[in-house]
């Protein structure tokens, strides 16, 4: 009887060991193989309240996923973060997931250091049909989604309804075309007895992103080869009637005094609008909450579509912001954990919370069903127009945006050209051509570097 007891004990012990072995094997697949959570590193590049909101989502993910732990590391602004990545790639010290701005897309693809999220979408048959198609389109290259959209915005026209009414303009009928903006800006401009402008009708920052948007509104390209989407861009394409029309319209308003040239910082034009020092401005949808909080009921804020030339067809806005990229060279367990993290950050509940905290678009339509987001929209009905503008934008190569490996420099060159034209230092064609020549040289050097 004693022998039988020992025999059964041995069998039971063996069974427990086998069960433990299987259990550990399962844990290895879900976690790190040693029973510990899979650790992944996430580099993000937004500060202030947006950075705080990002960190909150990471903390929430960690709390809900004990088998995965994400270490969120702030890397400075977008340019700084990309420069750090360039240093990390050769030393194989890249993060698992990284937030990269829209104009870094071409570089990220060419770096050959990424895992396209399309790999996991296909593997899981993950449904992206609820994600905003206009937003997905930007990060889709050669029919492959490379990164998952995260923080997204578009530009809109902000206007002071109270000032519109005082100037005899219909506050419910904002200007839609270049000519209408120019006419309304003139009516909204206040001058003293000597004719000196005391309050311009509009303030517009010298921002390269706006120039790109005005081109897209005309279904016109920034770069050749279909904005670099039918093949690598070789040259700039904005020295065109459409490009010149933008600067001519802008410069004419500045010359008349109806539009203020306040330099390159959108923060300055935003402050001027909030303070009631101008009646109209153009800015990102991402600052709507800040504008509303700043105005704080002092006047009624209106929002309108980005203006365009009257004869423009099949155009629309380009999304801005950033997306989440998965970096290559990490273990299978880390890669799977990275995908789980990316799915979480872009899911409806998180995107609703993200939108409310930051003002960025939700990247998935399902977020709009969230009760808290509906409450937010009721508070800020101005945001509905921004959503309509996004949904009414056709998806084509102009509205997808250009792909350039030297986009940061390109924007600086365009801003320099705009500055020269507004200051009367160069005519429109010459300024754009000079900028294009510099950008073309930069593109050529970049393209040669990625061929090596």
In the prediction, which pLDDT does 363 show? 95
Task: Label the pairing between strands 202-203 and 280-284.
Answer: parallel
In the prediction, which pLDDT does 3 show? 45
Q: List 177's β-bridge partners, or say none.
A: 308
- CA distance to 191, 382, 421, per residue, from 101 (Å): 41, 26, 28
DSSP string, 131-161: B-HHHHHHTEETTEE-SEEEEEE-EEEEEEH
In the prediction, which pLDDT does 34 show? 66
Q: Which residue has the higher pLDDT, 147 or 30?
A: 147
Reported as a pLDDT band with limits 50, 70 and 90, residue 90 is very high
Q: How long is the chain?
A: 452
In the prediction, which pLDDT does 384 show? 87
Backbone torsion region of residue 31, taken as left when φ is above 0, otherwise alpha when ψ lies between -120 and 50, otherwise beta: beta
| Residue owning tokens 């399902």 | 366
Find out whether 327 and 98 touch, Cβ atoms under 8 Å: yes
Report the C-alpha gap between 155 and 213 in whole angstroms.
8
pLDDT digits (tens, 9 = 90+) for 97-110: 999 999 999 999 99
Find out whether 179 and 187 touch, Cβ atoms under 8 Å: no
pLDDT digits (tens, 9 = 90+) for 29-61: 445 566 789 999 999 999 988 999 999 999 999
Q: What is the mean pLDDT of residues 168-195?
A: 97
Report the C-alpha gap between 140 and 112 in whole angstroms.
16
Report the C-alpha gap between 222 and 233 in whole angstroms.
10
| Mean of the per-residue pLDDT values of the chain | 92
Q: Is the pLDDT reported for residue 16 higher than 70? A: no
Report the C-alpha gap between 443 and 447 in whole angstroms.
6
Query: How many Å is the Cα radius of gyration of the chain?
Result: 26
CA proximity to 324, closest of 39, 122, 58: 58
């Amino acid at each position: 009887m004693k022998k039988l007891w020992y025999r059964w004990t041995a069998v039971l012990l063996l069974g427990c060991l086998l069960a433990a072995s299987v259990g550990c094997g399962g844990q290895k697949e879900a976690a790190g193989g040693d029973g510990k959570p899979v650790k992944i590193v996430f580099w993000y590049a937004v500060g202030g309240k947006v950075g705080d909101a990002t960190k909150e989502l990471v903390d929430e993910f960690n709390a809900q996923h004990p088998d995965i732990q994400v270490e969120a590391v702030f890397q400075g602004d977008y340019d700084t973060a990309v420069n750090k990545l360039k240093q990390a790639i050769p030393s194989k010290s890249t993060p698992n997931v990284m937030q990269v701005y829209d104009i870094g897309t071409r570089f990220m693809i060419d770096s050959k250091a990424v895992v396209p999220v399309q790999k996991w979408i296909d593997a899981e048959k993950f449904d992206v049909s609820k994600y905003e198609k206009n937003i997905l389109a930007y990060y889709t290259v050669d029919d492959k989604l490379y990164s998952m959209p995260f923080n997204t915005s578009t530009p809109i026209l902000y206007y002071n309804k109270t000032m519109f009414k005082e100037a005899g303009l219909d506050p419910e009928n904002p200007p839609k075309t270049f000519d209408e903006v120019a006419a309304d800006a003139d009516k909204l401009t206040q001058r003293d007895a000597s004719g000196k402008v005391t309050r311009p009708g509009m303030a517009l920052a010298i921002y390269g992103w706006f120039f790109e948007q005005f081109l897209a509104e005309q279904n016109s390209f920034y770069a050749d080869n279909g904005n670099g989407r039918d093949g690598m861009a070789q040259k700039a394409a904005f020295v065109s009637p459409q490009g010149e029309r933008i600067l001519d319209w802008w410069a004419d308003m500045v010359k008349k005094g109806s539009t203020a040239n306040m330099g390159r910082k959108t923060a300055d034009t935003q402050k001027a609008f909030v303070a009631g020092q101008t009646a109209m401005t153009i800015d990102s949808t991402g600052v709507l909450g800040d504008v509303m909080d700043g105005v704080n009921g002092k006047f009624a804020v209106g929002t309108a579509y980005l203006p365009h030339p009257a004869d423009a067809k099949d155009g629309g806005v380009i999304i801005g912001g950033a997306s989440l990229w998965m970096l290559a060279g990490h273990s299978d367990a880390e890669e799977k954990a990275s995908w789980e993290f990316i799915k979480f950050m872009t899911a409806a509940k998180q995107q609703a919370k993200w939108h409310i905290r930051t003002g960025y678009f939700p990247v998935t339509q399902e977020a709009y069903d969230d009760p808290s987001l509906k409450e937010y929209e009721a508070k800020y009905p101005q945001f509905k127009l921004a959503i309509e503008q996004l949904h009414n934008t056709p998806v084509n190569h102009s509205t997808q945006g250009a792909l350039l490996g030297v986009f940061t420099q390109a924007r600086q060159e365009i801003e320099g050209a705009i500055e020269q034209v507004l200051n009367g230092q160069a005519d429109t064609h010459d300024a754009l051509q000079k900028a294009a020549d510099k950008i073309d040289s930069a593109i050529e050097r970049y393209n040669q570097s990625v061929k090596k």
